[in-house]
Amino acid sequence: MLDASSTLSSSGYNHPALLKLMTNPNNLSTFVNRPALGILPPENFPDKLTESLLSIAPSGMSRVQTMACGSCSNENAYKAMFIWYRNKERGQSGPSAEDISSCMVNQGPGCPDLSILSFTGAFHGRTLGCLATTHSKVIHKLDVPSFDWPIAPFPRLQYPLEEFSRENAQEEARCLEEVEDLIVKWRQKGKPVAGIVIEPIQAEGGDNHASADFFIRLRRIAAKHGCAFHVDEVQTGGGCTGKFWAHEHWGSDDPADIVSFSKKLLTGGYYHKEALQADKPYRIFNTWMGDPSKNLFLCEVLNVIRRENLLEEVARSGKALINGLYELQAQYPGLLSRARGQGTFCAIDVRDDATRDKILVKTRDKGVILGGCGDRSIRFRPALVFKEYHVHLFLNIFNDVLTQFK
Amino acid sequence: MLDASSTLSSSGYNHPALLKLMTNPNNLSTFVNRPALGILPPENFPDKLTESLLSIAPSGMSRVQTMACGSCSNENAYKAMFIWYRNKERGQSGPSAEDISSCMVNQGPGCPDLSILSFTGAFHGRTLGCLATTHSKVIHKLDVPSFDWPIAPFPRLQYPLEEFSRENAQEEARCLEEVEDLIVKWRQKGKPVAGIVIEPIQAEGGDNHASADFFIRLRRIAAKHGCAFHVDEVQTGGGCTGKFWAHEHWGSDDPADIVSFSKKLLTGGYYHKEALQADKPYRIFNTWMGDPSKNLFLCEVLNVIRRENLLEEVARSGKALINGLYELQAQYPGLLSRARGQGTFCAIDVRDDATRDKILVKTRDKGVILGGCGDRSIRFRPALVFKEYHVHLFLNIFNDVLTQFK
């Protein structure tokens, strides 16, 4: 099988470097003894963090908090933004007696009516806090109580981006204007926006891209209104866009206040600026807070990425993939459209969802695992070792399948 | 060091059986290849579940859903209750067009105003859904937006329980009455209670116990009002009370609709009755949904528990521990009170929190790790291999420390 989905954009399989790591007896205790990381971390944990997560920290961020999965990462990142926002409001004074008594019974001002601004089509996870910022599919949201938080339109761009730059810039400006309006409106409603959360490429919601300019302006709007800016790289992080973080494509040295991750990083967690550090222990806390054994794997994964220049490989494979998709959509104009991508993080739309689903099955029967996203998109999420010859192998098989749908 | 806290009531360290498991080359791939369990489970996963989690399923439950941690387990258990409740309301008809459009923007009826009833002093985790049912400490809740959900009083009993049975029964009746009142009140408010969540022993909230009769009546009240009944065994499960699940002490063959777990089980997750199975795939879902490597460890842990009769050992050690605590509180009446416990899941109160904290440090300096809980309690959470002689070792050291606080 040729895997162009890699367990929902997570990691690959059976890499010899990881198998070797497992046979080193010095590593045994890291697997067998799972600590309560927040209170009893293993002695070598700071070193391992420096070697792994901190060695790939986004620009401007020197702190990282590990978590067990993507949802917990975002939930805790939201909490960090709420705590930061309220501390900012309080200034030097600590919580009031009313804060303390009201929070124990879920009421304000202790449990304040703060909000997180998210975007239509966004996906940030399925636990109750995350889910209030997820708007990709009905199946995720139906029947679950939620928060009245603002939802701004994510730009709906035309592809290829460079061919529609004027129209796309207009669409992005419209969305940014709406963001500012919502921030003002929710402040007036008594539910101020503590943070804005966004994916650098909306993944689950259908592989929706926006320009570097859009994200940089959005980040400025957040700062202007005193909101934290959280970039969710759970699906985009780890190298699949051709850079380690998708936000690096923006070329900003101050891209965000918080960056969350999981999947390809093997452990969940989030980076944050100094200011977003909770002011007291146990405010951001749980029993496990991640798993040092995943960190051990990550060290080795990073070694392999560096040694084998995998980010360059991804850029090369990604170029071959997107060019192949452009050719196919020219060849099958009624069937395929909107080919788009960054690195191997690519997608293409099919004329309707029923046809998309049939194509996914037929391609699988010919030995290629693909994934769907959005209403009628196919998404490509291969592992970093997906080389140019894998791309050509895939394109041939895909073409064979498409001829049946002409 | 003598560890009577075992990483917040999780597992012990360096058990030879687990170290041996790690050296078996057949197990390597389970550690190296973490699958997206919900869509691409490894071939042997159903067998491993049968051998591990399903072999210890609570009475009346044949289904289990694994998750990565305790908070995710409870978040998803709540979602299962919300989905079940709304499907029950709808009967044969599917979601309405209004359900579908409103849920995407966080509004009712698609995101309904349903609630979960919890108890004062409860701890069910720190993500936003769980946190709305957690009421143990200010530090967990302050500054985080919450839901207006009902909170009933947890019985505040007098110890030893058998000496105050009349007073305790009155207190429990008062709390149950309040539960029914709240269910009616929240239904009238338009925020019906979809589920009740409770710990068999409130752990983080200060080791608060209630009688089997209380839980059985509460379960009946839930059924009478059409609410699901969720027993959170994240801290109590796994054998530390002398039975595998603390709810087994109730002697009921239909204890609950949902039982969640984590910590000592090494993986998070929840058991549930057939009816609580979501009606469609992807409604309860995330990328990893647990970790098969933790399940592999759990199989071995269960083998050891059975082979070494560890539940009997815990019952024996627990008896020695509680008797020792009774003696110490008789010896230090101004300092210690309210000794209580089930198995080795024991606690004792100290006259004030400052003294409690000092005792914890002094005991640690003499080589014993203990934990605090509630306002001024000390909690005992040793691993299952904590034998009677460990208890006596501990009691001697503890006595040495206490003499300094007379």
The C-alpha angle A275, A279, A282, rounded to 5 degrees, equals 125
Closest CA to A311 of A375, A257, A360, A246: A246
Q: Is A31 a catalytic residue?
A: no
**A34-305 CATH:** 3.40.640.10
CB-nearest to B36 from A10, A68, A104 is A10
pLDDT of residue B40: 87
Give the DSSP H/E element, type plus range, for residue B171: helix B165-188
Better pLDDT: A328 or A11:
A328
Nearest CA in chain A to B13: A33
* pLDDT recorded at residue B195: 98
* Domains B2-12+309-403 and B34-305 fall in the same CATH topology: no
Query: For residue B13, is pLDDT > 80?
Result: no
Contact: B138, A86; criterion CB under 8 Å: no
pLDDT band at A5, cuts 50/70/90? confident
CATH number for A2-12+309-403 (one of 3.30.470.10, 1.10.10.1800, 3.90.1150.10, 3.30.465.10): it is: 3.90.1150.10
Determine contact, residues A10/A264, Cβ cutoff 8 Å: yes
Active-site residue, from A48, A243, A263, A264: A263
Q: Is the pLDDT of residue A339 over 80?
A: yes
**Nearest residue of chain B to residue A126 (CA atoms):** B286
CA atoms within 13 A on the CB side of A147: 30
CB contact under 8 A, A106 and B147: yes
* Residues shown for chain B: 406
Q: What is the ipTM of this complex?
A: 0.96
**Section B215-223 average pLDDT:** 98
Binned at pLDDT 50, 70 and 90, residue B10 comes out as confident
Nearest to B106 among A14, A114, A147 (CB): A147
Give the chain B residue whose CA is nearest to the CA of A296: B32
How close does chain B come to A19, measured CA to CA in Å? 7
Look at residues B231, B232, B202, B237 and name the one whose alpha carbon lies nearest to residue B219: B231
Give the pLDDT confidence of A156-182 residue by residue, as tens digits. 999 999 999 999 999 999 999 999 999
- Determine, for residues B32 and A14 on separate chains, whether the beta-carbon distance falls below 8 Å: yes
On average, the pLDDT of chain A sits at 95
State the nearest Cα–Cα gap between B330 and chain A, in angstroms: 33
d(CA B80, CA B278) in angstroms, rounded, equals 6
**Chain A: closest CA distance from residue B13 (Å):** 5
CB A359 within 8 A of CB A401: yes
Domain ranges within chain B, ordered by starting residue: 2-12+309-403, 34-305
Cis link prior to B95 (omega < 30° from 0)? no
Mind listing the pLDDT tens digit for each residue in A206-265?
999 999 999 999 999 999 999 999 999 999 999 999 999 999 999 999 999 999 999 999
DSSP assignment of A3-29 equals ESSHHHH---S--HHHHHHHT-GGGHH
Phi, psi of A341 (to 5 degrees): 170, 170
Which are the contacts of A383, defined by CB distance < 8 A and separation ≥ 6? A3, A6, A11, A12
Choice between B2 and A213, residue whose per-residue pLDDT is larger:
A213
pLDDT at A2: 87
Condensed to tens digits (0 to 9), the pLDDT of residues B319-358 reads 999 999 999 999 999 999 999 999 999 999 999 999 999 9
B265: nearest Cα among B243, B244, B246? B244
B232 is catalytic: yes
Q: Per residue in A295-331, pLDDT tens?
A: 999 999 999 999 999 999 999 999 999 999 999 999 9
The amino acid present at A253, given as its one-letter code, is D
pLDDT in tens, A124-141: 999 999 999 999 999 999
Vertex B176, ends B202 and B140: CA angle to 5°? 35
Residue of B104, B112, B266 lying closest to A138 (CB–CB): B104
How many Cβ atoms from other residues are within 10 Å of residue B61's Cβ? 20
Q: Would the pLDDT of A200 be above 80?
A: yes
pLDDT at A39 over 90: no
What is the reported pLDDT for B353? 95
- Which of B31, B100, B140 is the closest to A138 by Cβ? B100
Over residues A112-128, the pLDDT tens digits come to 999 999 999 999 999 99
**Contact between B106 and A149 using a beta-carbon 8 Å cutoff:** yes
Residue B8 pLDDT greater than 80, yes or no: no
Question: Which of the residues B31, B287, B353, B400 is marked catalytic?
Answer: B287
> Is the pLDDT reported for residue A377 higher than 90?
yes
Mean pLDDT for chain B overall: 95
Using the beta-carbon criterion (under 8 Å), do B140 and A78 form an inter-chain contact?
no
Determine the Cα–Cα distance for residues A357 and A343; give it in Å rounded to an integer: 24
The DSSP-derived string for A150-219 is: -EEPPP---SSGGGGHHHHHHHHHHHHHHHHHHHHHHHHTT--EEEEEE-SSBTTTT-B---HHHHHHHH
Q: Is position B147 annotated as part of the catalytic site?
A: no
Question: Using CA atoms in the order A65, A273, A115, A143, what is the torsion angle rounded to 10 degrees?
Answer: -30
